Amino acid sequence: MCGLVCQRNSYARFFFVMYTIFGAFVGVQIRNLCAQESAQESTKLGSVRGTVRYVPNPAKSWRLGRYYIANAKTGELAEAVVALTGRDLALTSTEREAQTVVVDQKNFQFTPETVALRAGDRIRFLNSDDHAHNVRTEHDDQAFNVTMPPGEEHVETFAVGAGINNPYRIDCVFHSAMRAWVYVFDHPWYQLTAKDGKFELVNIPPGEYRLEVVHPAGSLRTRQSIVVTAGKTDEVEIKLTMPD
């Protein structure tokens, strides 16, 4: 009787081990297939990356430039807004969960000063100062005017993608020097440059676009036509300067 039970247990262990090995094999094959499909899909899309630099204008200086340019000799520009523009961009963008960005009011300034969002995202405004502040905009697509005592917060959803040419300008009715800009897009191909001035826009459907760059603190602006190629990353160099 014991021999029969032991034999059955051996068979059970054998089939369990084989099932485990087979399951692991199938899992590996599925992951490999998904990776191949992902790689094939990525070759259908393109990318663009580059660096935004500030070039001084001898006829007109930019007094705020020192806050955004770490190296005056090379001119890498931080907090510039880079975005693609094109009439079909919103139609090709993918769905995603809404995000919340925090903008604090501290030391009598908005931090961060410039924000780039996707339509439907939210901003959680904080007041970390010991004085009352206010968040206000009179944008055509959305207006609000909210007073915030110390320690209070206000959450605002930005439902309309107004694009790179029509930002939401935020100010404080109590302190006129406080200002911020909120850029809202109806597609995912936008970015703020880092301290080194670099940006990269990925997974772009191939085609012709305009690449637009603005820096609201200096009213700096430029644009250029680009062609995005499937499976390729195009390199661009952007130069901004103060207008005469």
95-186: what fold? Immunoglobulin-like (2.60.40)
pLDDT value at position 43? 62
Q: Which amino acid is at 75?
A: G
Quickly count: other Cβ atoms within 10 Å of residue 214's Cβ.
Answer: 22
CA–CA separation, 179 vs 156, rounded Å? 16
pLDDT value at position 56? 95
Which one has a higher pLDDT value, 36 or 116? 116
Contact between 230 and 44 (Cβ < 8 Å): yes
Q: Which amino acid is at 2?
A: C
pLDDT value at position 8? 53
Measured between alpha carbons, how far is residue 215 from residues 201, 203, 211, 222 in Å? 18, 24, 14, 9
Regarding beta strands 46-54 and 198-204, do their DSSP bridges make them parallel or antiparallel, or are they unpaired?
Answer: antiparallel
Mean pLDDT, residues 196-213: 96
Record the pTM.
0.80
pLDDT of 20 strictly over 90: no
The two structure tokens encoding residue 136: 């206000």
Which one has a higher pLDDT value, 117 or 43? 117
Instruction: Quote the percentage of the chain above a pLDDT of 70.
Output: 81
CA–CA separation, 75 vs 193, rounded Å? 13
pLDDT value at position 171? 97
Contact between 60 and 154 (Cβ < 8 Å): no
pLDDT of 33 strictly over 50: no
Question: pLDDT class for 152, splitting at 50, 70, 90?
Answer: very high
Question: pLDDT class for 238, splitting at 50, 70, 90?
Answer: very high
Which one has a higher pLDDT value, 172 or 29? 172
Q: What CATH superfamily classification does 45-93+189-244 receive?
A: Carboxypeptidase-like, regulatory domain (2.60.40.1120)
CA–CA separation, 158 vs 125, rounded Å? 13
pLDDT of 144 strictly over 60: yes
CA–CA separation, 127 vs 154, rounded Å? 9
pLDDT of 76 strictly over 50: yes
- Report the b/e string of 139-158 with b at 16+ CB within 10 A: beebeeeeebeeeeebebeb
Strand pairing partners for 243? none
**Mean pLDDT in the chain?**
87
For 153-163, the pLDDT digits (tens) are 999 999 999 99
Alpha helices in 43-175 (DSSP H): 89-92
- HEC letters along 154-197: EEEECCCCCCCCCCEEEECCCCCCCEEEEEEECCCCEEECCCCC
pLDDT value at position 34? 45
- Residue 163's nearest CA partner among 81, 93, 238, 48 is 81
pLDDT value at position 39? 40
Which one has a higher pLDDT value, 236 or 5? 236
- Give long-range contacts, CB 8 A cutoff, 24+ apart: 91-97: 92/187, 92/205, 93/186, 93/187, 93/188, 94/188, 96/188
Contact between 221 and 167 (Cβ < 8 Å): no
pLDDT value at position 88? 78
